[in-house]
Each structure stands twice: as structure tokens, then as C-alpha cells.
């Protein structure tokens, strides 16, 4: 039996703010890779794009059953009290602010959250943690971001008994693309996954029904749909 639209939870996804071209236009746009849209849809949800707004985080969250904090540019190091590293990429402080407010609204109302790559970093920074601004300085390799537009592959061990391990198992191979990573971990977060080089790859917010951040890109791998499926299942619990 095919589920009707009303059976599918609405899953909000934060969007990029970039200059984009379409038709005769070249102007600022709220956009999102379709891999996120397709992953949410394949997993039983209806994707809802959430553009960056100057306010209304609570109002935006009230219209969806779950939240995905999508990947994107580097987080502004001023957010966690650091000076910029020489390898820091472009930042978008307005997007940082918006997603931090979205996250706090979601946690306040126990709305399920999945942070993807930058999204996991936003979760840590929003809750009081810090970031490694250039991971190759620490691990002395570039396996996490081999070259522009090329995803790396990493083996990740997940903590037995964690929410994410219940969805994916205790060992996964994942697609990744990041040169930053979680450093000092916020007190509200539990580390539940690490790469072979020790990089933090998965965290969960203590005491929430579903609030997971992953450093990899599950939307890029159909084998990783279980994670979006777990998010959709948690969103259905919210609906009741």
C-alpha cells in the first residue's frame, strides 16, 4: 500500500545562501542539493526547504515534524572565540545565526534533528563546543576531503547502544567531504562515532528523542538511507 502524503512527516531542511544562475538570471538564491530532497523523500518524508530568515525560527519549526541542518560553508570561528585559520574557507555568519536559532528551537520543543557535516559542527558550536578549523593539520592526511568536489570514504565505528548504532549498526563506511571537525565537545553532546584516525564522526544530544549530528554526508549514499529513515520514524512519533 502506497502511503498518502498525509502519512508522511514534513522534514524541514536548512538551505544554502548562494549566488546562482538559472535562465537569464544570476542572483542570490536559497538553494539545496537535490540529494537531500531525494534522501528525505526515499525515506518516507516530505522535504520542506527552510530559507535563512532574520527571525521566525520557532514559527518555521512549528510547521515541520523534523529538522535537517544541511552541509555548507565553514562556521565563523568568532562563534566559538577563535581567530580565523589561514585555510578557513568563506563563512556565512547570517546562516550560522539562523541555524543556531533553528537548533535551539528544535531542542526546546524536542523536534527530531539530524545535523549533516556542517550541521554537526553547528550543533557543537551552538551548545558551547569548538572546531578544528583545518583537520589536515591534526591528522596529517586529506582522506576526509581528498580534492575539490571529490568525496572521501571513511570507516566509522559507532557506539553500541547509541541511537545511531541502532539505525546503522556498529561499523559503517561513509562518504565524507570536510576539512573541519569537532574539537572541544559541548557538554550536552555524547560522542558516539569516530573515524579510524580518531576524528569525531557522530554525536547525539543527551536527553532528546532524536538529535544526531554526523560529520559525513548520508544524503550522498543510498545505502545510508537508514539514517534518514530513522529521522522520519522519529518525526512520525512527533505527529502521534
pLDDT by residue (tens digit) across 89-108?
999 999 999 999 999 999 99
| CATH fold for the domain made of 5-131+182-192+200-239 | Rossmann fold (3.40.50)
Residue 112 has pLDDT above 60, yes or no: yes
Confidence class of residue 6 from pLDDT cuts 50, 70 and 90? low
Residue 196 confidence (pLDDT): 96
| pLDDT tens column, 192-225 | 999 999 999 999 999 999 999 999 999 998 767 8
Q: Is the pLDDT of residue 158 over 80?
A: yes
Residues known to be catalytic: 117, 217, 219
Q: Which residues contact 188 (CB under 8 A, 6 or more apart)?
A: 127, 128, 205, 206
Q: Quick one: pLDDT at residue 57?
A: 87
So where are the chain's domains?
5-131+182-192+200-239
Whether the per-residue pLDDT at 235 is higher than 50: the answer is yes
Predicted structure pTM score: 0.95
Side-chain-facing half-sphere of 220: CA atoms under 13 Å: 18
Q: Per residue in 29-46, pLDDT tens?
A: 999 999 999 999 999 999
Amino acid at each position: 500500500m502506497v502511503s498518502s502524503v498525509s502519512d508522511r512527516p514534513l522534514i524541514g531542511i536548512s538551505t544554502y545562501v548562494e549566488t546562482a544562475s538559472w535562465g537569464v538570471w544570476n542572483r542570490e538564491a536559497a538553494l539545496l542539493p537535490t540529494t537531500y530532497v531525494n534522501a528525505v523523500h526515499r525515506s518516507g518524508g516530505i522535504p520542506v526547504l527552510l530559507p535563512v530568515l532574520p527571525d521566525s525560527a520557532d514559527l518555521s519549526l512549528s510547521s515541520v515534524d523534523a529538522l535537517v541542518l544541511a552541509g555548507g560553508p565553514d562556521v565563523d570561528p568568532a562563534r566559538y572565540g577563535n581567530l580565523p585559520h589561514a585555510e578557513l574557507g568563506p563563512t556565512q555568519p547570517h546562516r550560522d545565526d539562523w541555524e543556531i536559532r533553528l537548533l535551539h528551537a528544535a531542542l526546546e520543543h524536542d523536534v527530531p534533528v539530524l545535523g549533516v557535516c556542517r550541521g554537526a559542527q553547528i550543533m557543537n558550536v551552538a551548545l558551547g563546543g569548538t572546531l578544528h578549523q583545518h583537520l589536515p593539520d591534526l591528522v596529517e592526511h586529506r582522506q576526509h576531503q581528498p580534492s575539490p568536489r571529490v568525496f572521501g570514504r571513511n570507516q566509522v565505528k559507532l557506539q553500541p547502544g547509541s541511537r545511531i548504532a541502532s539505525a546503522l549498526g556498529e561499523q559503517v563506511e561513509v562518504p565524507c567531504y570536510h576539512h573541519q571537525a569537532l574539537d572541544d565537545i559541548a557538554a550536552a553532546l555524547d560522542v558516539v562515532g569516530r573515524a579510524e584516525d580518531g576524528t569525531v564522526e557522530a554525536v547525539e544530544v543527551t536527553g532528546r528523542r532524536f538529535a544526531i549530528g554526523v560529520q559525513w554526508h548520508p544524503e550522498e549514499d543510498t545505502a545510508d538511507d537508514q539514517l534518514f529513515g530513522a529521522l522520519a520514524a522519529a518525526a512520525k512519533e512527533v505527529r502521534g
